[in-house]
Amino acid sequence: MPHGQAAQVLVTAGHSKEMADQLHFMMGKFRADIPCDRDYSPRHLWLKSLDDQILRVGLTAYSVRLLQDVYFLEWSIDPGTYVVDRQEIGEIESSKAVSSLFTPCAGLLIDFNETLLNDPSAINTDNYGNGWLFDMKTEDRLLTPEEYIELLADGWEKTQRTIKGQLH
């Protein structure tokens, strides 16, 4: 991280069985929680193992914070589709922008969280729980929570310039 950069990383223990240890990335005055019980994609998606083969995928707190209020979600492919890394699979609309959704890695897309199509508010309020996006199978290597935090810290200065550019 460049000298003088104001990113801060905290490590805290969970307060219950359900809540795993977490890392926290400070986005200025806002905290992005990074649970340690899952892997991460450089495209700001988390992937949590449901069993030996299936991973549940959702948006990280970092991406939800940058998007802000998500109010529309649409998928452009069907379950059962084999996807390549960084394939566009849908669109998400928030108070900030309309953005394409891309796969975190190559694999088989199994199922979408259909509840979000009618009401995507769980992405804003419970992104690591009921706000999950889809399930998939992959054999690709993903980022550990520590590697993901490093990725955030390395790109934070550029992200801040982008955000400031959008405001002016």
Give, as one character, the DSSP assignment of residue 111: E
Positive or negative torsion for Cα 113, 119, 122, 124: positive
Polymer length of the chain: 168
Domains in the chain: boundaries: 9-167
pLDDT digits (tens, 9 = 90+) for 49-98: 998 889 999 999 999 998 999 999 999 999 999 999 999 999 999 998 89
Q: What type of residue is 152?
A: L
What whole-number distance in Å separates Cα of residue 73 and Cα of residue 83? Answer: 19
Q: Say if residue 5's pLDDT is above 80.
A: no
pLDDT digits (tens, 9 = 90+) for 94-138: 998 899 999 999 999 999 999 999 999 999 999 999 999 999 999
User: In the CATH hierarchy, which top-level class contains the domain 9-167?
Assistant: mainly beta
Average pLDDT over residues 133-160: 89
Residue 163's pLDDT is what?
56
